[in-house]
Amino acid sequence: MSFQQVIGQKEVKQSLAALVVSNRLSHALLFLGSEGFGALPLALAFAQYVVCADRTETDACGVCPACQKAQKLIHPDIHYSYPVIPRKAGDKPISSDYSTEWREFQGQYPYGNAYDWLQFIGAENKQGNITAHECSDILRKLNLKSFESGYKILVLWMPEYLGNEGNKLLKLIEEPPPDTLFILVAENESLILPTILSRTQLIKIPRLEVADIADALVGRGKVPPEQALQVAAISEGNYHEALQLLQHAEDDWQGLLREWLNAILKTGPVAQVKWIDEVSKLGRERQKQFLRYFNHLLEQAVRLRAIDNGSLTIPDKEKDFALRLNRIADLAQQEALIGELDKAAYYIERNANAKMLFHALTIKVYHILAHRTVAAIR
């Protein structure tokens, strides 16, 4: 993967290329970016840029033998480590056991997350890990001589899955063999071993711009421009989330939200219980998308308070709903709602019981809105 194939992130790409061109490359880098921001695609593109035999000041050539191998994830000097599961009881799996699946996954889901990957390899409810056995294999590989390029490179995806056995890598990271490059790719800094964190140069990956996501949806997914812009606006800089939203583009999130607010503000407990039963059957990803959509509308409502209606470019239906939200909740109430929705989405990601979660959330939303005279959402 070349930098050109990575969505957006122009400034990060320029900074990474400059590290190599100016010979200021650290031996251990940590690419830190939330899901869907493109940290892994950037890491893969950077690894290709380092081994490219004919790179420019901005990108790999894409045609030399090193680039062709890197693009297929078969370059002998670029190694990959990622969470895996035992295929059967008693197995001690390492990443290379899943190299075929890894190449297929990257080809199909370059912006996939760890959950996608584990489901791709049939984990179901099993917990993925980067084990002590994997760390020993990393030590073995990186102590070999490079085959073709000047560097031996390890791309370690999701170091959050390293337990204390990750300390086996400390000496190698601190005093690596000559021309060895570690590229760690993570989403949550707080879950990385502090001893590893302190030995890496941090490369922060910001959220994607709305325009970059919209352009990618149009160019790669052949999505109509208007729909692409709407989805990009809701996705919060997360291309993975944008793709998930497209899968459920026909879902009537606004209708579902209207039913919920009417049950809370007007029709009462019986309607609330019925709504909770319905939403608890949607599945985790769709529940998260519903909460994101409500958050998106609340953010638009906040913007409408500060910006003239005519200067804010959002679809008419969304603008109308956001204006109604401004009539039933003041700014402090909207901020409180956003906080509760964020927490609910966090717990859904961690497999909270949906029925209990949405029941508690319904009560919280009622109490947030209770101190203001409200009308039903129509």
Domain CATH for 101: 3.40.50.300
pLDDT at 317 over 90: no
255 and 201, same domain (yes or no): no
C-beta separation of 111 from 44 below 8 A:
no
Please give the pLDDT value at position 322. 86
Q: In this structure, are 134 and 13 located in the same domain?
A: yes
Average pLDDT of span 107-124: 89
Q: What is the pLDDT of residues 80-106, one digit of tens each?
A: 999 999 888 778 889 999 999 999 999
Residue 375 lies in a domain: no
Are 20 and 128 found together in one domain?
Answer: yes
Give the rounded percent of residues in the chain with a pLDDT score beyond 90: 49
Residue 377 falls within a domain, yes or no?
no
CA atoms of 357 and 351, how far apart (whole Å): 10
Secondary structure letter of residue 259 according to DSSP: H
User: Could you tell me if residue 286 is inside a domain?
Assistant: yes
Query: Is the same domain home to 229 and 360?
Result: no
Answer with the residue of higher pLDDT: 136 or 174.
Answer: 136
The reply to whether 332 falls in a domain is: yes
User: Do 182 and 201 contact (CB within 8 A), yes or no?
Assistant: no
pLDDT given at position 178:
85
Cβ contact 114:128 at 8 Å: yes
Q: Is residue 378 part of a domain?
A: no
Q: Which helix (H) or strand (E) holds 58?
A: none
Domain count, the chain: 3
- The whole-number pLDDT of residue 162 equals 84
Same domain assignment for residues 122 and 167: yes
- Same domain as 160, residue 22: yes
Residue 139 covered by a domain = yes
One domain for residues 151 and 266: no
**% of the chain at pLDDT higher than 70:** 94
Residues 188 and 224 in one domain: no
- Tell me: pLDDT of 378 over 60: no
Q: What is the DSSP string of 253-294?
A: HHHHHHHHHHIIIII-HHHHHHHHHHHTTS-HHHHHHHHHHH
In this structure, the answer to whether residues 144 and 21 fall within a common structural domain is yes
Q: Which of 189, 224, 242 is the last residue in one of the domains?
A: 242
Mean pLDDT of the chain: 88
My answer on whether 149 and 183 are in the same domain is yes
Residue 70 falls within a domain, yes or no?
A: yes
pLDDT in tens, 191-216: 888 888 888 999 999 999 999 999 99
Between residues 176 and 274, the one the model is more confident about: 274
Alpha-carbon distances of 12 from 46, 78, 338, rounded to whole Å: 11, 21, 30
For residues 317 and 284, what is the distance between their CA atoms, to the nearest angstrom? 26
**Neighbour-count burial of 125, counting CB atoms closer than 10 A to its CB (0-12 exposed, 13-18 middle, 19+ buried):** exposed
Give the Cα separation of 81 and 73 in Å (integer).
Answer: 12
Q: Are 154 and 177 in contact (CB under 8 A)?
A: no
Whether the pLDDT of residue 190 is over 50: the answer is: yes
**Looking at the structure, do residues 50 and 157 belong to the same domain, yes or no?**
yes
Q: Report, as an integer, the average pLDDT of 317-339.
A: 88
CA dist 240 and 246 (Å) reads 10
How confident is residue 375, by pLDDT bands cut at 50, 70 and 90?
very low
Enter the pTM of the model: 0.73
What's the order of all strands across the beta sheet hosting 201-204? 78-81, 152-157, 180-186, 28-32, 201-204
What integer pLDDT is reported at residue 78 of this predicted model?
95
Domain boundary among 242, 263, 290: 242
> Is 376 part of any domain?
no
pLDDT of residue 171: 83
Q: Tell me the pLDDT band of 372, cut-offs 50, 70 and 90.
A: low
Residue 292: per-residue pLDDT: 82
Question: Which of 206, 233, 259 marks a domain boundary?
Answer: 206
| pLDDT recorded at residue 221 | 82
Say yes or no to pLDDT of 60 above 70. yes
- The one-letter code for the residue type at 169 is L
What string of H, E and C letters represents the secondary structure of 158-205?
CHHHECHHHHHHHHHHHCCCCCEEEEEEECCHHHCCHHHHCCCEEEEC
- 350 and 229 assigned to the same domain: no
What token pair was written down for 301? Answer: 């409502």
Q: Under DSSP, is residue 272 helix (H, G, I), strand (E, B) or coil? A: helix
Amino acid at 238: N
Which pLDDT score is estimated for 376?
47
If we measure between CA atoms, which residue out of 46, 95, 93, 99 comes closest to residue 72? 99
Q: What integer pLDDT is reported at residue 50 of this predicted model?
A: 94
Domain extent, residue 139, equals 3-206
Residue type, 248: H
pLDDT grade for 10, boundaries at 50, 70 and 90: very high
pLDDT on residue 314: 65
Contact 312, 319 (CB under 8 A): yes
